[in-house]
Amino acid sequence: MIKEILPSVFLIEIPLPKNPLRVLNSYLFRGDGRNLLVDTGFNLQECWAVMESSLQQLQVSMDDTDLFLTHAHSDHAGLVEYLTRPANRILMSQQDVYILEAGLKDHRFLEAAAQHLRQSGLLAAGVPYTPQEEAVVKYASHKAVNLTQLREGDLLSVGAYHFRCIETPGHTPGHMCLYEPERKMLVAGDHILATITPNIGLWVVNRDALGEYLQSLDKVADLDVELVLPGHRNLIRDMRARIAEIKEHHRQRLDNVLSLVGNKRMTAAQAAAGMKWDLTFKSWDEFPFNQKLHAAAEAMAHLYHLVIQGQLAMSCEEGIYYFQLA
């Protein structure tokens, strides 16, 4: 489906088959000489068919269209190999350029997934080693493309729209939003979503992903925004109210994790199995591999944030991280 949401701004809904997110919101900003396309969908024929048809309906050529990727996840960047042209630029943050380039070499993601399986305790809990089923690997672009790095404060202009790049680490280390101050608009990717919360996962224990995300929420809350264009679900009219709801969600999740740990010593996999999830599965055992992997990563982010806050202590034995009250 294509919908003109503002003058020369089109929302293109790209289906995400067999994924709970259901749809990726891609945005086309039509300019005088050049256009800007934001995010793409999975590297799947179903996604490409809709994207190709939508561009044809809008009479848009990728030769005249640059591509901005809010972050490197495959639902946002998977079609990049079909959309790159010698005459266009693929734009994204410096940090996520590194992630996307690593994604072009599957073994790096497979190694990272294997490490996470071990460190989170999933492997020890009997979760089978099938990281090739992870969507990041399965639906990613596999063709090398030329990527242009963006940094905080860089400017992008397309037609009547003039954007400032805002670094918003958390959902990924290099997640980036676009802010249009004159129209009080934020192109938010997966930083702020309307009816669901972005997955904040820690795959390698080297950064406080949740702490970064909460700081990034505060950062954009200071902007004058009346319309948020998210990567999934509905447009957002009251950004600060939604930010407050997301922060309260994580406060409750941290309390939930603390209560689960109690006086025990726990892995991220054990915490994830006991956490509250807004999913249709009746029990942890019914979670498919991909969901268990991401749930354990989100549990790890919350556990490690509590370590940074001094409420939990962390230890490592035989490659598995354990958490207990400090």
Taking only the tens place, the pLDDT of each residue in 206-245 is: 899 999 999 999 999 999 999 999 999 999 999 999 999 9
pLDDT the model gives residue 129: 75
* CATH number, domain containing residue 142: 3.60.15.10
90 within some domain: yes
Look at residue 228 and tell me if it is in a domain. Answer: yes
Model confidence over 79-117: pLDDT tens digits? Answer: 999 999 999 999 999 988 887 776 555 556 667 778 888
Segments forming the whole domain that contains residue 138: 2-321
User: Sorting pLDDT into bands at 50, 70 and 90, what band is 204?
Assistant: confident
Number of domains in the chain: 1
The reply to whether 326 falls in a domain is: no
Residue 137: per-residue pLDDT: 63
Is residue 268 domain-resident?
Answer: yes
Q: Domain for residue 28, yes or no?
A: yes
Summary mean pLDDT of the chain: 93
Q: Is residue 52 in some structural domain?
A: yes
Give the pLDDT band (50/70/90) at residue 200.
Answer: very high
Q: Is residue 187 part of a domain?
A: yes
Sorted by sequence, the CB contacts under 8 Å of residue 282 that are 6+ apart come out as: none
Helices (H), 93-207: 94-103, 106-120, 135-138
- Asked whether residue 281 is domain-assigned, the answer is yes
Q: Would you list the DSSP string of 237-288?
A: S-HHHHHHHHHHHHHHHHHHHHHHHTTS-B-HHHHHHHS---SS-SSGGGS-
Task: Work out the percent of the chain whose per-residue pLDDT is above 90.
Answer: 79
pTM given for the model: 0.94
